[in-house]
Amino acid sequence: MSSLFRLLLCCCALTVWTSTAMLAQDDEETSKLPERRKAYIDPVVSNKEILTIGLHGGIGMTNHSGSFTGAPGQVSCCPEFSGGSGSGIIAGLDISLPLSDQLRLLGRISIQGVGGRFETSEPTTIRRGNEAVTTSFLHTFETQATMIAIEPAVEYRMGGLGLVGGLRTGIVSSATYTQTEALSDKSVPYTFPNGKQEYLNVSGDLTTISSMQIGLLAGLRYHLAMSENLSVIPEVMYAPNFTSLESDMGWGVNSFRVGATIALTLWGKNV
């Protein structure tokens, strides 16, 4: 009887040990299953930026330099026009291609008004009855010009902030001017030899404009994500020109721009 009891006890112990070993093996196989699926069944899939396209717009403040007395071929009493300023609307298209996680190749086509206004004040004394009045002649030279620019650049991204540097090449499609001379103080009763309060009021086309323009482009952008695909990118840019708009006048233009881009990013699958 005792021998039969011991045999039965050994069989129970063997059964428990075998069941425990099998359960442990099943747990080990189960724990390895996600890794096997990850390695052999479900590869990691993530989004990869393929292309970003956008429309940009803004305002360009232009700084003008030069050394001339007036439009080529026109009579002028101005001693010299040497500097001026202006502003114009900017609009265009952006295309961005990723080179790495931080680096983007940026291409832009834009149209910008680059006209400006030159003013020179020339002190003078005029006679009003028996009284000598000290005043000044105000010489003005105002231009309207439009530039179509192509801007290849590189953008270095640090989070949302982007540093932009590149070249700016453009073609001036048209340019006109208006040139006048008048007294600075309109309240002074004075008429020029033509019987008016303005003298040498002439206008026309600047036909000797240098059509090809070359310069640099540098600035900052900040990317604000509106959704997975859409973003708004405010920016400030500085674009100095190496070439003159009119070589005989020494007329050069540098531009400081403030604006924003509405951009759409296209994504692909990166396995």
Q: Distance between CA atoms of 171 and 148, rounded to whole angstroms?
A: 5
Q: Are 179 and 144 in contact (CB under 8 A)?
A: no
From the list 127, 133, 116, 132, the residue with the least C-alpha distance to 185 is 133
Question: Residue 28: what pLDDT?
Answer: 53
Three-state secondary structure call for residue 26: helix
Question: With the C-alpha atoms ordered 242, 245, 248, 252, is the resulting torsion angle positive or negative?
Answer: negative
First to last CA, the chain: 70
Side-chain half-sphere CA neighbours of 219 within 13 A: 23
How confident is the model over 132-153, as pLDDT tens digits? 778 888 999 999 999 999 999 9
Taking 50 as the pLDDT cut, the residues of the chain under it are 1-5, 7-9, 11-12, 14-24, 26, 29-30, 32-43
**β-sheet bridge partners, residue 138:** 121, 182
Question: Residue 94: what pLDDT?
Answer: 96
Torsion of CA 65, 67, 72, 73, to 10 degrees: 150
Question: Residue 271: what pLDDT?
Answer: 57
Q: Indicate whether this model's pTM tops 0.85.
A: no
From the list 126, 41, 143, 21, the residue with the least C-alpha distance to 86 is 143
Question: Residue 11: what pLDDT?
Answer: 46
Q: Are 67 and 246 in contact (CB under 8 A)?
A: no
From the list 223, 253, 257, the residue with the least C-alpha distance to 237 is 257
Q: Distance between CA atoms of 199 and 2, rounded to whole angstroms?
A: 137
Dihedral pair phi/psi, residue 20, rounded to 5°: -65, -45
- The residue behind tokens 């059964």 is 15
